[in-house]
Structures are given as structure tokens and as C-alpha cells.
Structure 1
Amino acid sequence: MSMLPDLEGLAIFAKVAELRSFSAASAELGLSKPTVSKTVGRLEARLGTRLFNRTSRRLALTDAGRMLLERASRMLSEAEAAESEARAQSAVPRGRVRLAVPMSFGLQEVAPALPDFFARYPDISVDLHLSDATVDLIGEGFDLALRIAALADSSLLARRLCAVPRVVVAAPSYLTAHGTPKHPRDLTAHACLGYAYLPAADVWRFTNRAGEEIAVRTSGPMRANNADALMPALLAGYGLAVQPTFLVRDALARGRLAAVLTEWSPPEIALHLVMPPGGPRPARVEALAEFLRVRFRRAG
């Protein structure tokens, strides 16, 4: 197998030749003079020829050095330009950001917010991935994610943005036909529409203001892995469901749904901004992260 080119040696050689001085090259490169000298010596040994004729007062290229210099200088220039371009890409908000968000929250809240983001950052594009499943940010190449959960400890960097209240709701037609539950244990006699990604989909947990806790095993005609998918059956009067308030706000305001068991609360969940560890991050990722932080940050 052939060896890789000695790119470091070629770059240092080009800098020494440009400045006609090992001392000047070491100062400009931030390296010690012995390091610069040893690196050039290593390159000469690799090539099997001298590149400089050295005297105490003068440094001159050999014929081999002159032949090598043009390409080595071009390589150094290209490398410096590549680094400069990469730094500019990192510093200026430009390029694509891969963002993963829960399906319903993405449709209701994130997608409507993106036009404001694009107006502010016209050179950034967003690859929006909608799924209630927990994606592997690192393994699937996502830059950041929004997650709604009681977040478990992990190696990811997470910042809590706001609480996401949930409420038990039902259509007035269902409550008229089957009665209104007054206590969580009454749910055992009701049709309950379940959300599949709960830790235990058929067990609903509640706490009241006195700190009393209760877990109720429920059953019903439907379970789904997305809260929006429960809405048609919910509005048609086929059962009760625990839904986030952002999803049912309009239906509650219009009287299409009614909140029940309002003295009891499901376990608190929150919206988190999650990112892989490490840094610094490209400016495009920081720009979207800050936009989401400001857009969805709430007190509490």
C-alpha cells in the first residue's frame, strides 16, 4: 500500500522557500525552529534529495527544490483557501440543518414558525423530520431535535424550553352518552383512546394538588403512535384521551371537546431542545437552535 503524501512537510517546505528563512517560517507558522528544520529534513529523506543548500548566511533552493516548489506552493495555497472557506461556512449561517421533531408539534407549531426563520436566514435550509419515535441523532445524522417528554439522562445536550400541559378530553356527545368521569378510577368504565409511546400505553397516571397519585389501567377502541391520529375518533365521540393542550386548544375553545378530571394532572412533560455533544457547532445550527429557544421558551 502506498504511503500518503507528507502534506505537512510539503507545506512547511513551501513556507520556508517563500520566506527564504527557517527562522522566519517558524515564527509565521508558530512552530519552533528545530521542528521546522526536522520536518524539512524528513521530507528530504523521504524524497532522497536535498531541497535547500544551506550556509550560515544564505539559504538557496536546489534544482530539486525549485522543481518541487511550484506544486508545494500551490498545495499550500489551496489548503489555506480550503480552511478559510470552511471557517467562513462555519461562521456564516449558511447551508442545511437536519431537525427532528414530534409529528403533531411539528405540524402545529414548528412548521408554521419556519417562514419567520427563513425570512431572517435566507441562506439556511431545514430538513424537517416529523416522527413521534425517538430518533438517534448521532447515528442518523441529525443536527438537533425537539423532544416532548420527561427526558431521560443521556449523552446528548438537552435544554428545557417549556412545560407541555396535557388534559383529559372528550367530545360532548361522548359525555352525554356515557357520563363524565369524576375521579381517575372512573376511567375503567370508559372507552379510552391510547397513545402508544407512553411508557405504559394502557396505564394513565395522575396527581392532584394534594399530591395524591393514582394509576389507572384503561382500555378502548383505538391506540395510535401519534396524537393527531386520535383526533377524528375523539371528535366523533368514541372515547376520552389524554392530549397536549397545544393540539386541542382550538377544539376546546369551539366546544368540540370538553376537558374533564381538571383537578387531576397527568405527569409533567416538557419540550426540550436536544443536540449531539461536542462543538463548536456551525453557525447555521446555532442560528436555528437559538431561534427555537426564543420561539418556544416559556416561564416555568
Structure 2
Amino acid sequence: MDRFTALTVFRHVAELNSFAQAGRRLGLSAPAISKNIAELEARLGARLIHRTTRRMALTEEGRIYLEHVVRGLDALAEADQALCPVKAAPSGVLRVSAPMTVTLTRLSTAIPAFLARHPALRLDLDLDDRRVDIVREGFDLAIRGSDHLEDSSLVARRLAVMPHVLCGAPSYFAAHGVPASPAELGAHACIRFSLSGHADTWEFRQDGRVERIAVDARYSVTSSLAVRDALRAGLGLSLIPRPYVEEDLETGRLQAALEDWRTVETTLHAVYPSRQHVAPKIRAFLDFLIEVFGESGPGGGPPAYDTSTR
């Protein structure tokens, strides 16, 4: 048994909760993955993983052993980097998950310059507004937009804060009037971004008062770009991140309403699994994100922080 390989296999199986995914990640066959785990358990004289044909779970011994294995493998990787400075340059494949609208409106035009800066790096950018499981799905980093970042074992770096604005087309306001207060929104056609954390209730604040308006939407959609298209067409009103419609507001294509009321904000974070040993490719992309969002708007915030409750 190659002990280093067996430990690496065990770590990936445990983190991905899957023999098959670990095999794909490491380029090993299913029998090779099973053999490494079995030989490691035989050497230790302890069962590390409970497994059936349908599922697997770490034993108590497996959870304890995994903590030590992760620290040991990370320390070895750090030692290798210290002795091989050339490997500190970003290289390999970087898998990133990012929301589609944020990427298309604020990030994608800068990607070619990032790749030109790091010729040994390959970027696999997956655009999806759903919340991915970074570890299970094999991503190195994800960009997330949220009113509240849930506790987890991930590390998060705040990138930007996007205030929202209630807006519509001048043609819509000409036909239906401009709401003078949040309470009047019940008489208006609303467009709902259904993946938002505030999709069903829009909150407005003024002088210590808070008004929460239940959204009765004629049109619900999972893309902020589609919301913007509907706004431009005069279909109704929506609460949307201001950067997505800033140009429309400046040119008069869209018009803001209830600007004397404060409303929700979405904070963009870069989240990644490792808290101590950040790979050069991840560090390079983090620096790139901080540079881009720092230039394009407010909220290039504080240093990375750990969201773990442990």
C-alpha cells in the first residue's frame, strides 16, 4: 500500500462523501479507491467508513482520523511549496461557480486580462444562480450574493455591497402612476426574482419605521437579467440590485421610485473551503476579484473571515 495515496484517497472520499466522485477527482478507478480504503483500514485495525450500496458515512474513528489526515496532508503541501518557489505561480485548473448576472454585468469582461496575467492557469467558470455545494461538487471557489451568509465551515471574503432600487419604465409609471409609499405597491404589477432571499417580501425602512410588503407578482423568473428586460418593457415594478440597472437609470430608460425609503442590500462574497493553505490559483483569483469589485463599486471589504460556528 502506498500510504500517501491511501491517505489522499481517504481525504477525498470523506470530503466528497462519495467513492465515485473521489475516483473522478483523483483519476482512479472505483476498485482502486475501494482497495486503498480497505488497505488503510486493515493497517489501522479500525473501520473508517460505514458503507452500503446506497450511502456512506464516516465512523467516529474516521472523523477523528480525518482531522489529523487533513492537517498532515496540508502541511506536506505547504512544505513542497516552500522548497519549490516556481510552484507558487498560479497553475492548473481553477473551478469557480458564480451567479450569472453578477458575472455578465461586472466580471466577464475582465476575465481575459486575468488569464493573460496567468498563462499557466486554466479557468472553468460555471454560471449558475443556485447555491452550489463547493466541496461536494469540486469547486475551488464560489461567488455568492446574499442578504445573510449562513454559518458554515467555509471561509468568506466580502467583495461588494449592492444596494437595491425599486424601479420601472417611464411608460409604466405614465400608465399606472408612481407609488408614493410602500403600501401602494399592492396596486401595482410586480416582477419577482424568485431566487432572492426576499423574493416574497420587500422591506422598506424610513425614520425607524419598517414596512414589509408581500409580493403578489404577475411574473416570477430566476434571472435578474430577465427581470431587467421585463422592467424595460414596462411590464411592472421590481426591487433589483442597483448596479444591474445603473445605466438604465442614468439614461432614463428606467425610473426609480420610493427613493426616500431604504431597502435591502445584497452582499457579494467569495467563499472557499481552505482556511490555512490557500492554493496560489485561488489566491490569484481572490486578488483579481478584490481588484475588479473594488474598482466597480463600494464594499471591497475587510479581510477574509471564517463563517464556521465551530
Normalising to structure 2: TM-score of the pair?
Answer: 0.66
Q: Does the 8 A contact of 2:141 with 2:273 survive in 1?
A: yes
Unaligned stretches of 5+ residues in structure 2: 5-79, 302-310
Distance 1:89 1:96 in 2: 17
**Secondary structure at the residue paired with 1:237?**
coil
Matches within 5 A, 1:273-284: 273-284=270-281
> C-alpha separation between the residues in 1 aligned to 2:282 and 2:157?
15
- Specify the alignment match of 1:76 in structure 2: none
Aligned equivalent of 1:54 = none
> 1:155 aligns to what SS in structure 2?
coil
Match of 2:204 among 199, 203, 206: 206
Structure 1 gaps, min length 5: 8-82
The answer to whether 1:106 aligns with 2:86 is no
Equivalent residues, number: 221
Using the TM superposition, give the Cα deviation of residue 89 of structure 1 relative to its aligned residue in structure 2, in angstroms: 7.4
3-state SS of paired residue (2:135): coil
Q: Does 1:96 align with 2:93?
A: yes
Q: How far apart in 1 are the matches of 2:112 and 2:287? A: 15
- Asked if residue 294 in structure 1 is aligned to residue 291 in structure 2, the reply is yes
Aligned with 1:271 (options 260, 268, 273): 268
Residue 189 of structure 2, aligned match among 185, 188, 191: 191
- In structure 1, what residue type is equivalent to 2:216? S
User: Which residue of structure 2 lines up, in the alignment, with residue 47 of structure 1?
Assistant: none
1:25-40 maps to which residues of 2 (within 5 A)?
none
> Which residue, 246, 251, 254 being the options, matches 1:249?
246
The percent identity for this pair of structures is 37
Matched with 1:42 is: none
| 8 Å contact from structure 2 (residues 146, 197) kept in 1 | no
Q: What SS class does the counterpart of residue 218 from structure 2 fall into?
A: coil
Matched, 1:239 2:236: yes
The residue that corresponds to 1:218 in the other structure is: 215
Using the TM superposition, give the Cα deviation of residue 178 of structure 1 relative to its aligned residue in structure 2, in angstroms: 0.3
- CA distance 1:255–1:6, shift in 2 (3 Å): closer
Provide closer, same or farther for how the CA distance between residues 192 and 89 of structure 1 changes in structure 2, counting only shifts above 3 A: farther
CA contact (8 A) 1:89 1:282 kept: no
Q: Summarize the Cα distance change of 1:160–1:278 in structure 2 as closer, same or farther, 3 Å threshold.
A: closer
Does the CA contact (< 8 Å) of 1:206 and 1:266 recur in 2?
yes
Q: What does 1:138-177 correspond to in 2, within 5 Å?
A: 138-150=135-147, 151-177=149-175
Contact 2:144 2:269 in 1 (8 A): yes
- Hey, what does 2:40 align to over in structure 1? none
Larger Rg: 1
The alignment's TM-score, normalised by the length of structure 1, stands at 0.68
CA RMSD of aligned residues (A): 2.3
